A and B are shown apart, each in its own frame.
Chain A
Amino acid sequence: MIRHIPLIFKNAIRNRRRTLLTVASIAASFALLGTLAAMYRALFWSDPVPGQELRLMTRHRVSLTQSMPASYEQKIRAVPGVQAVSIVNWFGGTYKDEQRDRSNMFARFSTDPANFFEVRPDVKIAEDQKQAFLRNRRGAIAGKTLAAKKGWRIGERINLTGDIWPVNLELELVGTYEEATDDESLYFHHEYIRESFPQRSARRDLVGLFWIRVDSADSVPRVSKAIDTMFENSPAQTRTESELAFGLAFAAFLGNIKLFLAAICGAIVFTILLVTANTVAMSVRERKREVGILKTLGYTPSAVLSIILGEAAVISVLGGALGLFLAMVLAAGIRQGPAVFQQLKQVYITPTVALAGIAAALLIGVASSFTPAWNASRTPILTALRATD
């Protein structure tokens, strides 16, 4: 096999135009395949970002749009294994003219700042900005990326018109934070919303979500069960799940993503198979006489087989490698794009994805060329020499 390598390469570049076109065609397919595989990995197989595996979300069992009594916070804190609890509320509302300018749509949450930093110790923020946020009831902090996109500076006035919470907020940006998965959100004091409601309003003491940090990853199933059991018989029952699972529910909202990705990947793999098989079949057909000559020179059928399979593998792996390189560019584009859901920030062509891609290319190359290669290697010398085309 090894000594055939020069011949394999020579054969591969003999019809340069065909090899180039085939490589380009396979590369286009692999660019897609790589990107989709990276997306799939980011969505369904990715390891939790450090700290994430320790976090849970508790919501109303009926749905996210229903709220729970704020008093649950104390009860949840008492569950063994719980280290920190913070309320979080999706505020919704409108910023400027977001109906017309979609860039003014971003995630906004009200929270309890002191607890917020307890639940998410990995949020990086300058100490003075953190203190300013804790002190200023109308203060808000924004993710670095969001602040950069909107061109906000410290001291920026951010006015929000409420809808789910029918209050209007006049916030002041007091800091920016960095975090691996979430740096395009705005957080502010829930107390500000609470105080905007009249004393007797039932809404004052309702909250949407509890964000929880537990002591170790092993406690996760036990704590989530304990919390949900605790509220089993109360008017607002809960559902507690890991932050990762909670995020996935949003991805599921776009449709059956898993099936969608798998179906497209399947179609692409099949297309690559066709393209490679076609190219090899064409090359082999043109070289029938050559195969006869090789055999006359003493090449065994298995040597002929490996030369042809090797050529297909070289072309296919070349296309695969080029495609994966393009996929890296595409993945970088996806990470820069809008954060439809957090996991999209984790779309990388990891070494595993790249290796799997190359392996797939090799496999496709060999599988697709097997039939023409086998036939050529079994053709009797005389038939092969007599072939005219």
Chain B
Amino acid sequence: MRIPFSYNIRNLVVRKTTTIMTALGIALTVAVLLSVLALVNGLQTSLRSSGDPKRILVMRKGATAELTSGVTRQAFQDLKFKPGIARDSAGQPLASLEIVTVINLPSVDSEAGMNVTTRGLLQPGIEIRNLKLAEGRWFESGRRELVVGKGIAARYPDARLGGTLKFGKGEWTVVGVVDAGTGPINSEILGDLNQVAGDLNRMEGLSAMWLVAEDEITAKSLINSINDDVKLTAQAKSEVEYLEAQTSSAAPIQFIGIFVSLIMAVGSSFAAMNTMYAAVSRRAREVGTLRVLGFSKGSILTSFFLESLVLALVGGVLGCLLALPLNGLTTGVGNNLTFSEIAFNFRVGPDTMATGIVFALVMGALGGLFPARSAARKEILTALREI
């Protein structure tokens, strides 16, 4: 026969101080884990959701990032007319030759400055990425004008609409803010290809080429045809693949965070064990009485084990509540491939919270098993005599 569940709930309520303290300990552990998971999750969501398998990046053979890649204008002329590239309304191929560099700007988090990817691109580059302006207007070619991603406008005071940035051969004005959703352009600064390349003295030393295929199947054959082209000495990959490689940027923080939460979990399990042992010893006579009433050892074990799980569950839910305010907050981490900061939002999704609850339950199970076993093993007579 099962011991009614309400017995456990009442016990937890009666000893509310102990319950709250133990649950809070578990809650903090869960909150630490969740905030790290929310960060990693946010970065991955931002990178994965924005990749389009039709968009293709072409870099020099062997290059892993646009920043360290190099392509020539001649290669672009050869590439532009490959079959399979989508065309705009005027019949021009949707291909853009681009230059990528990094500039250092003071951010809201770091006065010393963070690296920001700055990209010079051709007109089709805007259509390739379906970019929409949120404010202002697009840059004009032949002028030192820039359009910044929303994430940049929010985190870098100098790069707000109307601000001026100094690099290359003069001052650049921010004339627009682009809404690129969670895509990488959100963390970038854009300008006209020839103006940027001219200012950096790199008219020939450009970085990479972007293009859009007609459909996903053409994209695959286009990638193969570029990779097999001996004359181009270039290598193509889909945007999805390129962004996936960048999700490893959060690996150091993820590693530290999980390590920290695991050790904290050990501490919290011990604390839960302590609480449950105290509960068992305080209720020794009750356990004896229950046994006299005919409850089996098994049901005593289950009952105390369940109580520990409920305690942990309370902690887990509290932990989720603690971590929830992080959801949607914007943060940035260094992107190990682009050597610049990538801005994204923390994401506390249902799956993250489920992980937190399971984590809490594991702590509760570890903490509850031994005390529950010791309760079940009590001899009826000694238990009844205990004070």
Indicate if the CB atoms of A278 and B201 lie closer than 8 Å: no
Query: Taking the complex as formed, is B380 at the interface, i.e. its CB lies under 8 A from any CB of chain A?
Result: no
- Within the assembled complex, what's the spacing in Å between the Cα atoms of A24 and B277? 15
Given contacts A28-B266, A264-B32, contact A249 B271 (CB under 8 A): no
Q: Which residues of A contact B200 (CB under 8 A)?
A: 66
Indicate if the CB atoms of A63 and B264 lie closer than 8 Å: no
Contact mask for chain A residues 54-72; partner B; CB cutoff 8 A; 1 contact, 0 none: 0000000111111000000
Q: Which residues of A contact B168 (CB under 8 A)?
A: 62
* Segment from A170-178, A184-192, A268-276 that makes contact with B: A268-276
Query: Taking the complex as formed, is A277 at the interface, i.e. its CB lies under 8 A from any CB of chain B?
Result: yes
Q: Which residues of B contact A92 (CB under 8 A)?
A: 68
* Segment from B47-55, B332-340, B351-359 that makes contact with A: B332-340
Indicate if the CB atoms of B334 and A25 lie closer than 8 Å: no
Q: Which residues of A contact B339 (CB under 8 A)?
A: 64-65
Q: Which residues of A contact B267 (CB under 8 A)?
A: 24-29, 271-272, 275
Given contacts A271-B264, A278-B274, contact A252 B28 (CB under 8 A): no
Out of A21, A26, A202, A281, name the residue touching B18 (CB < 8 Å): A281
Indicate if the CB atoms of A389 and B282 lie closer than 8 Å: yes
Q: Which residues of A contact B252 (CB under 8 A)?
A: 254, 340
B165 nearest CB neighbor, chain A only: A62
Contact mask for chain A residues 21-55; partner B; CB cutoff 8 A; 1 contact, 0 none: 11011111101100010000000000000000000
Given contacts A271-B28, A274-B25, A277-B21, contact A24 B201 (CB under 8 A): no
In the complex, chain B residues 261-303 whose Cβ is within 8 Å of any chain A Cβ: 263-264, 266-268, 270-271, 273-275, 277-278, 282
Contact mask for chain B residues 145-185; partner A; CB cutoff 8 A; 1 contact, 0 none: 00000000000000000000011110000000000000000
Distance in Å from the Cβ of A284 to the closest Cβ of chain B? Answer: 11
Distance in Å from the Cβ of B348 to the closest Cβ of chain A? Answer: 15
- Within the assembled complex, what's the spacing in Å between the Cα atoms of A272 and B18? 14
B200 nearest CB neighbor, chain A only: A66
Distance in Å from the Cβ of B235 to the closest Cβ of chain A? Answer: 12
Which size class do B's interface residues fall under? Answer: 35 or more
Given contacts A28-B267, A389-B282, contact A65 B67 (CB under 8 A): yes
Which size class do A's interface residues fall under? Answer: 35 or more
Given contacts A29-B264, A163-B69, A271-B29, contact A65 B277 (CB under 8 A): no
Indicate if the CB atoms of B331 and A255 lie closer than 8 Å: yes
Indicate if the CB atoms of A249 and B274 lie closer than 8 Å: no
Indicate if the CB atoms of B274 and A282 lie closer than 8 Å: yes
In the complex, chain A residues 279-311 whose Cβ is within 8 Å of any chain B Cβ: 279, 281-282, 286
- Within the assembled complex, what's the spacing in Å between the Cα atoms of A94 and B63? 9
Indicate if the CB atoms of B63 and A66 lie closer than 8 Å: no
- Within the assembled complex, what's the spacing in Å between the Cα atoms of A172 and B341? 36
Query: Taking the complex as formed, is A256 at the interface, i.e. its CB lies under 8 A from any CB of chain B?
Result: yes
Query: Taking the complex as formed, is B22 at the interface, i.e. its CB lies under 8 A from any CB of chain A?
Result: yes
- Within the assembled complex, what's the spacing in Å between the Cα atoms of A260 and B28? 15
Q: Which residues of B contact A17 (CB under 8 A)?
A: 277
Indicate if the CB atoms of B25 and A275 lie closer than 8 Å: yes
Out of A94, A267, A278, name the residue touching B31 (CB < 8 Å): A267
In the complex, chain A residues 73-118 whose Cβ is within 8 Å of any chain B Cβ: 92, 94, 99
Given contacts A256-B331, A275-B267, contact A18 B104 (CB under 8 A): no
In the complex, chain B residues 294-344 whose Cβ is within 8 Å of any chain A Cβ: 331-334, 339, 341
- Within the assembled complex, what's the spacing in Å between the Cα atoms of A278 and B60? 62
Indicate if the CB atoms of A278 and B21 lie closer than 8 Å: yes
Indicate if the CB atoms of B24 and A65 lie closer than 8 Å: no
- Within the assembled complex, what's the spacing in Å between the Cα atoms of A28 and B260? 10
Contact mask for chain A residues 302-335; partner B; CB cutoff 8 A; 1 contact, 0 none: 0000000000000000000000000000000000
Interface residues of chain A, those whose CB is within 8 Å of chain B, are 17-18, 21-22, 24-29, 31-32, 36, 61-66, 92, 94, 99, 161, 163-164, 166, 202-203, 235, 245, 248-249, 252-256, 260, 263-264, 267-268, 270-272, 274-275, 277-279, 281-282, 286, 340, 389
What are 17 of the A-B contact pairs (CB < 8 Å)?
Answer: A21-B274, A22-B270, A25-B270, A32-B263, A64-B102, A65-B101, A253-B115, A253-B341, A254-B253, A255-B334, A264-B32, A264-B260, A271-B29, A271-B268, A274-B22, A274-B28, A278-B21
Contacts A260-B253, A278-B274, A282-B274 aside, 16 further interface pairs with beta carbons under 8 A come to A27-B267, A29-B264, A32-B263, A63-B101, A65-B67, A65-B115, A65-B339, A92-B68, A163-B63, A163-B68, A202-B201, A254-B252, A270-B28, A271-B29, A271-B268, A282-B18
